Amino acid sequence: MPIHIFAQVVFDGVSAIPFGWAITKAVAGFTVLYLLKWYFNGAVNGSERNMHSKVVMVTGGTSGIGAEVVKGLALRGAQIVMLTQQPLTDPFFVDYIMDLRRQCNNELITAEHVDLSSLHSIRKFATKWVDNAPPRRLDMIILCANTRTPPGGKATQTEDGLELTWGLNYMANFHLLSILSPALRAQPPDRDVRIIFGTCSSYMGGSFPDFDSAGGKSKSKDIKSRPKPMAFTPGEVYATSKLVVMTFAIAFQKHLANYARPDKQPMNARVIIVDPGWSRTPGMQRFLTFGSLWGLALYLFMWPMWWLVLKSSDQGAQTFLYAAMEEQYGRGEGGQFLKECRKYKFLRPEIEDEAIQKRLWEVSESTVQSLEKESALRRAIEKKTEEATKAKEEKARLKEIKTEADGKTKGKSAIPSTKKDKKGK
């Protein structure tokens, strides 16, 4: 039967078959749609690695790309430590962890409470992790935590006074890795240690902050040529945070490589930067909807287009999984930039500028120190105020108890006299 139909098409043309042209157009349309979707889905991780016994710390692992990275590694047997701002006693979060363990058939999925928007919270966790003898095993840190203010949105601040996008996307990573650095350097020389940074192609539009206003003069002309914008612009702040975190990633690789191990072995920790591509994550949806109801309606109306041109979270996680498992990145030079499961060159040469890296590190370190001092002073004042309030309340309560006791005593002393009076009568 198919042979006869094909022969009729060849000799008599497509119009000889009922609905021939309609079928042809539909097949052509579906073929084009399939090819476009295949192209926009991006590359698929083709590397596999035995992840059993590997301890992997993940930020942003409860939603979007981070959740898919956690699932992908947990399915391969890795021990996962998720850093989350969710309370560990939250029943919904407990159910999430239990469901993830069942799906992955992996009981080694745990979480630690860390609020990445709080420098104090980061220090409490990281200090506790480092303060351990012998050093705790740590094979990999994957930094997926990310935030972005929707277009037209207003700037919000962390409890330390940092703009939220800047504080979470960059300062949290800087603070966390600065403290965990000894734990990474203390790993045995035969262990493959990787630190994977998440970034975005918007880094190309970022500009370095004005280091002069941060206390000191910059020695780099590149920094001065791109001054910090005066007004808050969500898109530029986000792009700047990604540009700076990539610069810090290269600086952190040099920081690790320059460490002289006591056993004289070469440093085995390597930094990898990953651009997962544009994906339909909760953050992207919030960006596309402008954080508004009318934007959500527009997003739903344009859903077919977003489905076509944006990756799913699972597809966005492929390059992260590739960076975590590809054998070649466990040796050789660190500081590789990956996109679509391939190496790419930085399109902003300033990222590899040592003068910028050094100045960025110095300013970031001094900023963290000053903010932590202010935070400590603020907590001390709050503690004293709380103690004074409790003491005042306790004093008032004791006074109330004493008043009640005095009233009862007076009442009791009045009763016997009444009885005597009755007996006298």
**Token pair in block for residue 338:** 């990956």
Domain housing 232 = 55-276+311-372
Assigned domain for 113 exists: yes
- pLDDT (0 to 100) of residue 235: 87
Structurally, the chain folds into a number of domains equal to: 1
Beta-bridged to residue 140, according to DSSP, are 56, 194
Q: If you write DSSP's letter for every residue of 279-304 in order, what string do you get?
A: B--HHHHHHHTTTSHHHHHHHHHTHH
Question: Which is it for the CA torsion 38, 39, 42, 48, positive or negative?
Answer: positive
Q: What tens digit of pLDDT does each residue of 409-423 get?
A: 766 655 555 544 544
Assigned domain for 292 exists: no
Assigned domain for 24 exists: no
Please report, for the domain that includes residue 73, its CATH number: 3.40.50.720
- pLDDT (0 to 100) of residue 253: 95
Assigned domain for 283 exists: no
**Using N-to-C axis directions, what is the helix angle for 234-257 and 354-424, rounded to 10°?**
100
Q: What tens digit of pLDDT does each residue of 56-68 get?
A: 999 999 999 999 9
The CA distance from 74 to 136, in Å, is: 19
Assigned domain for 298 exists: no
Assigned domain for 411 exists: no
Assigned domain for 244 exists: yes
Band the pLDDT of 209: cuts 50, 70, 90.
confident
Assigned domain for 270 exists: yes
Q: What tens digit of pLDDT does each residue of 268-308 get?
A: 999 999 999 999 998 888 889 988 889 889 989 999 999 99
Active-site positions read 242
Q: What is the rounded average pLDDT of the residues 84-96?
A: 92
